[in-house]
Structure 1
Amino acid sequence: MTNYVCRYPDGAAGLGLLFVRTCHVPAAFAIAASAVAVDPHVRYPLAGLIALLLVLGLATRLAALSLGVAAAVAMAASSSIEPWLLVGHVGGCAGLMLLGAGAYSVDARLHGRRVIHLHATTPDRGADD
């Protein structure tokens, strides 16, 4: 069965995924600031690591998963209007987990498309000269 899903979309879809990744970077620091149960010497470097992974597009699905889990945990401890914003962040992280990083990422360079050039004549068959 042929898989018709593009693993690392380029064009407008790739730019959209790049935009979504970069928009979740401030959310990582905002969620880290709201996590008062964790030591600040731990939460801010972790938020910086998640933000760096999202911007570069390296291990994007893992970074989106960890940010989504952190947003879901912060949603339980927040009040009034913040939970609705965190629901949006959880939804965006779920989208990144499902779609991946896009073509404009390190993941696409490491695991993306490969171009194989097939020649009409192979060395063992010879040419029709």
Structure 2
Amino acid sequence: MQRLYSMFPAGRAGAGLLILRIVVALQLPAASACCSKPAMAGWVDMLIEGLAVLLCIGILTPLLALLCGATAALCLFGQGVLSSVSPVICLVIANAIALALLGPGAYSLDAKFFGRRLIVLHEGNEQ
């Protein structure tokens, strides 16, 4: 699992990644509203809401970000006509790819579960 994450930046970079996660999570329902068909609306909406919640808390962020981008791309190609492409969908795809490449940051559950650990070894009982 360590290969999936390069590092978990904190500070301003970590806050920026947190904001990017929240922005992608908030944009995803708007993108699905552009393309929802009545036959698929129920399960697609549930999938998108679940993805948005998990992305906000930052669990398995690179995989979920790619799934968000794939969902938005499915909506994009489901429209049929690429000449009337919604800019919201393109923005979701671009932000999701950026988030997948950058990772979750220090303010996520991924950092807690998969982050680097400091192991301190104590030598015997010293008096």
Distance 2:28 2:92 in 1: 10
1:51 corresponds in structure 2 to: 52
Shift of 1:99: 1.4
**2:17 is equivalent to residue 17 of structure 1:** yes
Matching residue's letter, 2:117 = R
* 1:60 corresponds to: 61
Deviation at residue 41 of structure 1 after TM alignment: 1.9
Q: Percentage identity across aligned positions?
A: 34
Compare the two structures and name the one with the higher helix fraction: 2
Deviation at 1:37, TM superposition (A): 6.6
Q: State the number of aligned residues.
A: 120
CA distance in 1, matches of 2:108, 2:51: 15
The whole-number CA distance in structure 2 between the counterparts of 1:10 and 1:25 is: 20
Q: Deviations over 1:82-106 (max 9, x none)?
A: 1x33322212111111111110001
Contact 1:102-1:108 at 8 Å conserved across structures: yes
Between 33-42 and 7-16, report the one with greater CA deviation. 33-42
In terms of mean alpha carbon deviation, does 88-97 or 12-21 score higher?
A: 88-97
> Matches of residues 1-129 of structure 1 in structure 2 within 5 Å?
7-33=7-33, 34-36=35-37, 38-76=39-77, 77=79, 80=84, 82=86, 84-118=87-121, 122-123=123-124
Higher relative contact order (CA 8 A, sep 6+): 2
Shift in Å, 1:40: 2.1
Judged with a 3 Å threshold, the aligned counterparts in structure 2 of structure 1 residues 38 and 58 are, in CA distance, closer, same or farther, namely farther
Of 47-56 and 22-31, more deviation after overlay is shown by 22-31
Question: Cα RMSD between the aligned structures?
Answer: 2.4
Distance in 1 of aligned mates of 2:119 and 2:104: 23
Stretches of structure 1 lacking an aligned partner (at least 5 in a row)? none
Is residue 60–residue 97 contact of structure 1 (8 Å, CA) maintained in 2?
Answer: yes
Once the two structures are TM-superposed, the CA of residue 79 in structure 1 deviates from its matched residue by: 5.2
SS at match of 2:105: coil
| SS of residue in 1 equivalent to 2:21 | helix
Name segments (4+ residues, structure 1) moved above 3 Å.
78-81
Q: TM-score, normalised by structure 2?
A: 0.79
